[in-house]
Amino acid sequence: MIAAPKNYDLRAAEIAKDFPILAQPTSRGKRLAFLDSAASSQKPQAVIDALVRYYEHDNANIHRGVYELAERATAAFEGARGKVARFIGAEPAEIIWTRNTTEAINLVSFSWGLENLKPGDAILTSQLEHHSNLVPWQLLAAKTGAELRFIEVDDQGIHQLGDLKAKLRGVKLVALSHVSNTLGTIAPLETIVPQAHAAGAVVLVDGAQSAPHMRIDVRALDVDFFAASGHKMLGPTGIGFLYGKRALLEAMPPFLTGGDMIKKVEYRETSFNEIPWKFEAGTSNIADAVGLGAAVDYLTAVDMDWIRAHDHELTRYALERLTELAPLGLEIYGPRDPELRSAVVSFNLADVHAHDLASILDTEGVCVRAGHHCTMPLMEKMGWPATARASFYLYNTEQDVEQLVTALKKAAQVFKLA
């Protein structure tokens, strides 16, 4: 049971002041209620300043420069790696910079996957996955002859683990999202990971929706790979990371090849750099890595446990308020128990298509996502053509939820549901 932090709403309103974009009214003069952080979060001034400061004072290419600027740029870049490592309980050498979660998952698929899977092996994922944690495994299975299996979910999107032991037979890789981007379901990793390891499988966790919202300790979770995106956790777009256990990363072949990832190059052969640089070919996204470092500093200063408790309390409040709209035909999806979900609420209003709903909410300053949320197989399984999705983060307040409820009532009026 997560306790409601005292004055959580007041503190969230104070935090919102650090995000300049949120102070801006819409073109229709409405207050902005940004409820789409699961797609991409807003950025605090501290992150924006870190990017500007890097370009104004420290910019140069990293690693081999011997002059002062290059040394400062290298220190900022590697310093950010250290911050991300500490943020999730890893060593810096175990953090590889990528563009985003998708690239991190592809790195594992192409490097570890092609090397370790063969016909007769199996990959186990779930029916909840974002396309980014499904399509790479479909292609890997096709290339290696491995079989793709799924942990089923019930109509609330909760993992069904009754046959887990049987499903794990012959599995070499378990790939799961920590938190579902469509339904908010938190995966029961504490049950799945030990059983997966006992069956001899390696576990990859797609942390795109969990790293922004809860304290992550990769050692305690005992996962082998953990992938996340900077832009969903207050950082810039174009930067993400892959955590991998040192021994695994050391044994893996490189993914992309070229400059910076080498130790020695001759005309006909090359020896590779140590981890993590072995996996970072070409000039990295230095400035955005530095920006992500600033984002992690900001999150740590606020405190990840407070963020989890805030998100939980606001989600609980939103579920309560949205339930009041049931007479208008509002249907809420995902786990009914708020303890089992993160800060994501998917819903539909009577026969109003989610896109029409999102368009009407937009006229009231409320930003929500609508559609299949990159989980087309899940939508098909559940029989939903589309859903609208509100997602919350540390800067959202009860006022944002209130604005959502008011806008939904307006949509009901436009569609003559009342």
Which of 155/380 has CB closer to another protein? Answer: 380
**Least distance to another protein, CB of residue 26, Å:** 11
Which of 138/283 has CB closer to another protein? Answer: 138
Q: What is the C-alpha to C-alpha distance for residues 296 and 215, in angstroms, rounded to an integer?
A: 12
Which of 142/376 has CB closer to another protein? Answer: 376
Which of 145/385 has CB closer to another protein? Answer: 385
Establish whether 374 is a catalytic residue. Answer: yes
Q: Contact with another protein (CB under 8 A): which of 87, 243, 395, 415?
A: 415
Query: Pattern of binders to another protein over 372-411, x per CB under 8 A?
Result: x---x--x-----xx-------------------------
105: Cα within 13 Å, side-chain hemisphere: 29
Would you count residue 370 as binding another protein (CB under 8 A)?
Answer: yes
Q: What is the C-alpha to C-alpha distance for residues 231 and 208, in angstroms, rounded to an integer?
A: 9
Short-list 268, 211, 220, 213, CA closest to 242: 211
Q: What is the C-alpha to C-alpha distance for residues 291 and 47, in angstroms, rounded to an integer?
A: 5
**Least distance to another protein, CB of residue 371, Å:** 5
- For residues 398 and 11, the answer to whether their CB atoms sit within 8 Å is no
**Least distance to another protein, CB of residue 278, Å:** 36
The one-letter code for the residue type at 236 is P
Which of 19/415 has CB closer to another protein? Answer: 415
Would you count residue 359 as binding another protein (CB under 8 A)?
Answer: yes
Q: Contact with another protein (CB under 8 A): which of 360, 366, 378, 390?
A: 360
Which of 323/359 has CB closer to another protein? Answer: 359
Residue 340: both structure tokens together: 């089992």
Query: Pattern of binders to another protein over 334-353, x per CB under 8 A?
Result: -----------------xxx
Q: What is the C-alpha to C-alpha distance for residues 286 and 260, in angstroms, rounded to an integer?
A: 13
Cis omega (within 30 of 0) on the bond before 254?
Answer: no
The full length of the chain comes to 418
**Secondary structure of residue 125 in the 3-state scheme:** strand
Would you count residue 26 as binding another protein (CB under 8 A)?
Answer: no
Q: Of the residues 171, 345, 374, 407, which is catalytic?
A: 374
What letter would DSSP give residue 255?
S
As a dihedral over the C-alpha atoms of residue 303, residue 305, residue 311, residue 316, rounded to 10 degrees, the angle is -150
Would you count residue 371 as binding another protein (CB under 8 A)?
Answer: yes
Q: What is the C-alpha to C-alpha distance for residues 297 and 319, in angstroms, rounded to an integer?
A: 31
**Residues touching another protein, count (CB under 8 A):** 19
Would you count residue 120 as binding another protein (CB under 8 A)?
Answer: no
- For residues 290 and 51, the answer to whether their CB atoms sit within 8 Å is yes
Interaction site with another protein (CB under 8 A) = 351-356, 359-360, 363, 370-372, 376, 379, 385-386, 414-416
Which amino acids are annotated catalytic? 374
